[in-house]
Structure 1
Amino acid sequence: MILYRYILRNHFIPFLFSLITLICIFLLQFLMKFADRLVGKGLDAWIITKLIVFNLSWMVVLVVPMATLVATLMAFGNMSQNNEVTIMKSSGVSLYRLMFAPIAASVVLSFLLYLFNNEVLPDANHQAKILMSDISRTKPTLSLEPGFFSQEVPNYAILARKIDQNTNILYDLTIYDYSNAMKINVVTAKKGKIFFSANQTKLIMALEDGEIHESDVENTTMYRKLRFEKHKIAMNADLFTFQQSGPTSRGERELSVEDMKYITDSLYQIQASNIKYLESEVNKYILLKDKFPFKPAPVQQQSKSVEKMKNLDRVRTAMNVVISAYRRVEWTQREIEKYEVEIYKKYAIPAACFVFILIGAPLGIMVRKGGFGVAASISLFFFLLYWAFLIGGEKLSERGIISPFMGMWSANILLFTAGLLLTIQTNLETKTISFEFLKKFIPKSFEQKAEGNENQDS
């Protein structure tokens, strides 16, 4: 037990460090990608925080397996570098026993990640989609430039000839009001101020010392002029304020395994009826040529050309019915595969935690380096390989080229086989991976400078 606790303790700090580092990298990439959709919208800090928290869920699901591999490489690399692995093996402790505690911890971690992936991630994805959709519909905050008409507010054209940037007071205002199609209203004022109402639903224009000129479109002889000392115009501000939508329909990435299985069961029943209908149509129109379901037009009543045209139209109708039934079967099959891909993904990504232990432990012993840089460099290759198989398998599965199971589990199967072979080989004979060959790619001028600096130091 002391040995197991020691090995797990060597994993814990590197795991936390790599987990936080990778989440920060993903978070930075997310903010850079969506910054243009967030900046200038006048969003509350709480809305931005909610958006980040909701998107952290999918980042955690992707990062935990990566952090497991990095931590394993660092832990076993450190122990190998300090000759602890050699001492343990000479004491009769096999590599399998050294890996027992990390493997047991990875099984627990995989189960917890599956629960998170199945229970938390779907709701977080759904809320993030709604929030991002609402943010995308929100226009940037109203901006006015002196001497230019602004038509950002629907049904209004606003001209301010002078704007005090310190007090935000507008001078020499002209406002065209098109909210009533039957009337033309022109409002002028010497000064005014624009602000949102308390509930953020209205844009209030508080005007001072001005006039309202009103005319009727139908009765052109009617004209009215009103003078005012103070006047307020309430304009619709829905496009400039954030308003969150209610519940919407969920996609496959916003559902749990149980929900998706219920949907796929329903789709299988629909598919069975679709296939039965297609087979009946094929048998009716193609196989039973002697008993075609319509009678040819009699030659005595019309010319042969008209008879051929009508019969040709009937054949085309029959062909369209068969093609339509086939496409319905094909579309339903794509929907089934789409949901099955997500179901298998819920299990495949958490299982990667266990697979990466089998890869990381023997490689860490071979490399004999416990630094984060070396571990991250080696891990990057396996990350790219894993996600290439995962993304490629997802696309191929959704197109019906390979089965959803193979599409999602091919990366795990490949890396599990490679990890098993590496573990067996390392247990039988300890090998060391050297990076001396990289020196061939370093320019000689750099080596000479480094030697010169060493000589000066000495």
Structure 2
Amino acid sequence: MILTKYILKNHLAPFLFSIFTLIGIFLLQFLMKFADRLVGKGLGIWIITKLIVYNLAWMIVLVVPMSVLVATLMAFGGMAQNNEIAALKATGMSLYRMILPPLGASLILALFLVYFNNNIYPDANHAARLLMEDISRQKPTLSLVPGVFSQDVPNYSILAREIDQESNILKNITIYDYSNPPSINVVTARSGIIYLSSNQKKLIMDLHEGEIHEFNNSNWNQYRRLRFERHKIAMPAEQFTFEQSTPGGPRGDRELGAPQMLSIVDSLQKIRNRYLSELEKTIAKITVTESPTVTDKGAARLFDKVKQRLNNNKNILRNVLNRLDYNKKEINRYWVEIHKKYALPFACIVFILIGAPLGTMTRKGGFGMAAGISLVFFLIYWTFLIGGEKLSDRGLLSPFWGIWSANILLGILGIILTIKSARERIELKFDFINKILPKSWKYNPDENENS
């Protein structure tokens, strides 16, 4: 019992240190990414704090398994460096027995993450998305930079040479409208304002004193110029996600727990079965039921009739197949998120199996060594996870293998390393790095003393 507490105590401090360090890194990255959306909005400290707290949820999901690996490497590396591993083995305690306490703790962490992923993480993601929507639509003109064309609105390129941030008044405006592919409209105006429609789905440009120049791509001889005293342009505002601003609305796959997504998958599967039944009926209808006597006069008529029927059936088949393909992608997308709810927590156990034997082999308990080795395994793990997720979403790999392949691969590697480290004493050295480095980079104390 004393040894169990001692081993767990050696893990606790590195684990907490790793969590705070990694969360700090992720938080800094998050703030750098979204700083342009937050600066100049006049937001209070409470709003910024809520946004950070909501986004801490996805950081915790990623950071906890990573911290487990770093802590395990530091704990077992430090114990090996102080010859405590050798002393414990001399008393008859095997490496398997030493790993049991952190394995038990990692199992508790995994269960906590499963609960967190299904109950807290979805609600936090939903709240974070709604809060970002509220921030985005507070002042839409802030996304415009004076004298620079903005491509934020699809199919529109907007230039305002002067912007009054207080009143949202734009001056000397030029708008390129590509919403109608056969033609291009260029709208110029002396001034205007930008605001959201009452249903928050359209971005309205209310222009004053300007002109509309219409060009036809297929025929450049067609040109028309219209002058106006006042003109309104309604542009799509989907990129600002104005549809939902209060809790309780539709949620994405990362804003749902596994039970809710399983219910959606079940509904999608029923829809898929209906599509398959419709496909079978459509295939059965693709037959020519009429067989009149083909004469010279009737041949052309019969050919046209058969051709028309085949074209109609071809379009029906294409629509059904497209719906089946979309349905399958939606099912795979939800299954990917369901598996991630459990695969990421399970990584805590896998990283114990990796970190414990590697820690005893390196015999180094410093954060630098642990972070360096952890980085390699993080890259391997996230490469498999992200690659598997993309392949699964495209239907090239089953969601199970796409998400669990990293855990299976590293789990097998961890078991092999644990067995090998328990049977014999293995020490990993990094002297080969000194051989790779140029001589000018190496530190030579004799040369410093002579100089």
Determine the structure 2 residue equivalent to 1:166. none
Match of 2:14 in 1: 14
- 1:41 aligns to what SS in structure 2? coil
CA contact (8 A) 1:110 1:351 kept: yes
Q: Which residue of 1 aligns with 2:277?
A: 276
Match of 1:261 in 2: 262
Distance across 2 between alignment mates of 1:243 and 1:254: 16
State the partner residue of 1:234: none
TM-score, normalization by structure 1: 0.75
**What amino acid sits opposite 1:132 in the alignment?**
M
Q: Does residue 394 of structure 2 align to residue 399 of structure 1?
A: yes
Q: Take 1:356 and 1:294, find their aligned partners in 2: how far apart are those partners? A: 65
After TM superposition, give the deviation of residue 132 of structure 1 in Å. 1.6
Alignment of 1:26-425 (within 5 A): 26-137=26-137, 138-139=139-140, 150=163, 245-247=245-247, 248-285=249-286, 292=287, 295=290, 304-425=299-420
1:321, 1:334 → 2: CA distance? 20
Following superposition, the deviation at residue 265 of structure 1 comes to 1.0
Distance in structure 2 (CA, Å) of the matches to 1:70 and 1:178: 56
* Alignment deviations for residues 66-117 of structure 1 (CA, whole Å, 9 cap, x no partner): 0000000000000000000001101100000000100000000100011111
State whether residues 75 and 370 of structure 1, in contact with CA within 8 Å, keep that contact through their aligned partners in structure 2: yes
Of 49-58 and 436-445, deviating more is: 436-445
**Distance apart, 1:448 and its partner CA:** 5.7
1:284 alignment partner AA: K
Name the CA shift for 1:356/1:277 in 2 (closer, same or farther; >3 Å): same
Alpha-carbon deviation of 1:118? 1.0
Which of residues 426, 435, 444 in structure 2 aligns to 1:440? 435
State the Cα deviation string for residues 302-350 of structure 1 (Å, max 9, x = none).
6644442332111110111122212222211111111111111100000
| SS at structure 1 position matched to 2:377 | helix
State the 1:153 CA deviation. Answer: 7.4
In the alignment, residue 422 of structure 2 is paired with which amino acid? N
Write the distance in 1 (CA, Å) between the matches of 2:111 and 2:368. 29
Which amino acid in 1 is paired with 2:252? G
Q: Residue type of the partner of 2:320? A: A
Deviations 1:353-390 (A, max 9, x none): 00000000000000000000000000000000001111
Tell me, in whole angstroms, the C-alpha distance in 2 between the residues paired with 1:448 and 1:39: 46
Please report how far the alpha carbon of residue 455 of structure 1 lies from its aligned counterpart in structure 2 after TM superposition. 6.7
For residue 427 of structure 1, what is the aligned residue in structure 2? 422
How many residues are matched? 370
Helix, strand or coil for the counterpart of 1:430? coil
1:358·1:420 contact (CA, 8 Å) conserved in 2? yes
Deviation of residue 269 (structure 1)?
A: 1.3
- What letter corresponds to residue 106 of structure 1 in structure 2? S
Taking structure 1 as reference, are residues 332 and 141 closer, same or farther at Cα in structure 2, changes over 3 Å only? Answer: closer
Question: Any conservation in 1 of the 2:12–2:71 contact (CA below 8 Å)?
Answer: yes
1:161-192 CA-to-partner distances (Å, cap 9, x unmatched) read: xxxxxxxxxxxxxxx9989xxxxxxxxxxxxx
How far apart are residue 277 of structure 1 and its match? 1.5
User: Quick one: which amino acid aligns to residue 254 of structure 2?
Assistant: R
Superposed displacement of residue 294, structure 1 = 5.1
Mean Cα deviation higher: 121-130 or 11-20:
121-130
Identity %: 52
Distance 1:388 1:273 in 2: 37
Q: Deviations over 1:2-42 (max 9, x none)?
A: 00000000000000000100000011111111111111122
Measure, in 2, the Cα distance between the counterparts of 1:440 and 1:157.
Answer: 64
Amino acid at match of 1:431: I
Q: Whole-Å Cα distance in 2 between the matches of residues 356 and 149 of structure 1?
A: 56
| SS of residue matched to 1:110 | helix
- Alpha-carbon distance change, 158 to 402 in structure 1, aligned in 2, over 3 angstroms: closer
Structure 1 residue 126: Cα displacement? 0.9
Choose 258-267 or 126-135, whichever is displaced more: 126-135
Structure 1 residue 295, shift from structure 2 partner: 3.5
Contact in 2 for aligned 1:298/1:307 (Cα 8 Å):
no
Q: What runs of 5+ residues in structure 1 fail to find an aligned partner? A: 160-175, 180-241, 286-291
Q: Contact 2:74/2:370 (CA < 8 Å) preserved in 1? A: yes
Specify every segment of 5 or more residues in structure 2 that has no aligned partner in the other structure, as ranges: 147-160, 173-189, 194-241
Which one-letter code corresponds to 2:21 in the other structure?
T
CA contact (8 A) 1:134 1:244 kept: no
Residue aligned with 1:400, SS: coil
CA contact 1:355–1:415 (8 Å) conserved in 2: yes
State the secondary structure of the residue aligned to 2:140. Answer: coil
Question: What residue identity is the alignment partner of 2:284?
Answer: N
Are positions 1:25 and 2:17 aligned together? no
* Code of the aligned partner of 2:19: L
**Bigger Cα displacement from structure 2, 306-315 vs 31-40:** 306-315
SS at match of 1:250: coil
> Using the alignment, how far apart are the partners of 1:448 and 1:11 within structure 2?
34
How far does residue 243 in structure 1 lie from its aligned partner after superposition?
A: 12
Structure 2 Cα separation of the partners of residues 408 and 11 of structure 1: 28
- Relative to structure 1, is the Cα distance of residues 365 and 271 closer, same or farther in structure 2, using a 3 angstrom cutoff? same
Q: Partner amino acid for 1:380?
A: L
Residue 187 (structure 2) aligns with: none
- 2:18–2:67 Cα contact (<8 Å) kept: yes
The code of the aligned residue for 1:409 comes to: W
